[in-house]
Structure 1
Amino acid sequence: MPPKQRRIAIMGYRSVGKSSLTIQFVENHFVDSYDPTIENTFQKMITIRGQEFALQLVDTAGQDEYSLPPQSYYVNIDGYVLVYSTNSQKSFEVVKFVYDRILDMKGTNIVPVVLVGNKSDLRMEREVSFEKGKELADSWKAPFLESSAKENQRVEEIFKCIISRMERSENIGQQKSGCVLS
């Protein structure tokens, strides 16, 4: 069976670790330096429950509550990983705006999304509690994970989870809600 093609956009406020999560997942290493991303696309093959997926990961430029992301962030995108930093309340507020914008642009209220609180390793600098992230994700009926790109915590799980959500949205009614990982 040929691999299923999937396009995933990684979106969120600037400096939340979108590129670090993507590079950690694709290349298995942490990038310590920060150069603001304009837009980058990465490819990765992954097998889940015997099915191969050819992923195209669109690492987007950081969004804010005033910017209008380009149309390309909505056209032919199968799912979204929305990232905020656990040490930035501002990034948490912006991710809400980004989610609303996706729904507006897609013209639907059901979009495969995973909410990610990144930088969980910065425990002493935390501004957004796990409970607040979970509460927001629950309001979207979306999975929620906290991660650390630096420590490679739950990074692969994020992408397996969004693939599961995309598959579920294609086969509505065939699976229960939530992520199904194996």
Structure 2
Amino acid sequence: MSKAKAQQPQVIHKVIMVGSGGVGKSALTLQFMYDEFVEDYEPTKADSYRKKVVLDGEEVQIDILDTAGQEEYAAIRDNYFRSGEGFLCLFSITEQESFQATVDFREQILRVKNDDTIPFLLVGNKADLEDKRYVSVDEAQERAKQWNVPYVETSAKTRANVDKVFYDLMRAIRDRKMEASRQTNGKTSSKKSKKRKCTIL
């Protein structure tokens, strides 16, 4: 019995990084994974990372898929989105275009998931480049409010809020899974009670 308990599969939270090319998805991922800042990283394809972390006292695994920004095939991109349980949608605060692109990413994700309550964080990266800012905090917060999602500014360079965005998203994924299992259990127990009533009749 104790053996089976020890081999209990660890909870895995699947996170997908989305955003235009050059906004720092890989830099943010690598900073979270390895505590290092990689300035010139040229991803040609999506990369997958897995790490054991302690989330509110529970050991879990985070599975991060770092998409390459310009996915050539919509079908591949849709498959990535389908597999994700939560999304970090990045733009650079120094680049208005990347901020506008978040609208497309959000629409693509909602189309594939068909669910507008999917765990999702809007992330303004490169917060260390305040002097080159093009996207105001108010503008980004306004969009997050419209979408009913959190907005956080990060810097892969200084590590500001890097852990926060991953942990916040994992908490949202965990809460959603718990809610789903509660609903499933609720349905099964109500079915059982209905059956019992039928046997009495």
Q: Please state if 1:95 is matched with 2:102.
A: yes
The Cα shift of 1:156 comes to: 0.4
Contact persistence 1:8–1:77 (CA under 8 A): yes
The Cα shift of 1:62 comes to: 0.7
Normalising by structure 2, we get a TM-score of 0.80
Name the CA distance, whole Å, in 2 between partners of 1:168 and 1:136: 24
Cα pair distance change 1:13/1:6, threshold 3 Å:
same
Counterpart residue number, 2:112: 105
Structure 2 residues not aligned, in runs of 5+:
1-7, 181-201
Percent pairwise identity: 31
Paired letter, 1:72: N
- Cα deviation digits, residues 101-152 of structure 1 (max 9, x gap): 1000111222110110000111111110111111111111111100100111
The Cα shift of 1:72 comes to: 2.3
Contact persistence 2:13–2:174 (CA under 8 A): no
Counterpart residue number, 1:156: 163
The Cα shift of 1:172 comes to: 4.2
Structure 1 residues not aligned, in runs of 5+:
174-182
SS at match of 2:18: strand
Please point out which of 70, 82, 86 is paired with 2:89: 82
**Looking at CA atoms only, which structure, 1 or 2, has the larger radius of gyration?**
2
Please point out which of 8, 13, 24 is paired with 1:17: 24
Contact persistence 2:13–2:85 (CA under 8 A): yes
Normalising by structure 1, we get a TM-score of 0.88
Name the CA distance, whole Å, in 1 between partners of 2:139 and 2:70: 21
Counterpart residue number, 1:118: 125
Q: Please state if 1:52 is matched with 2:59.
A: yes
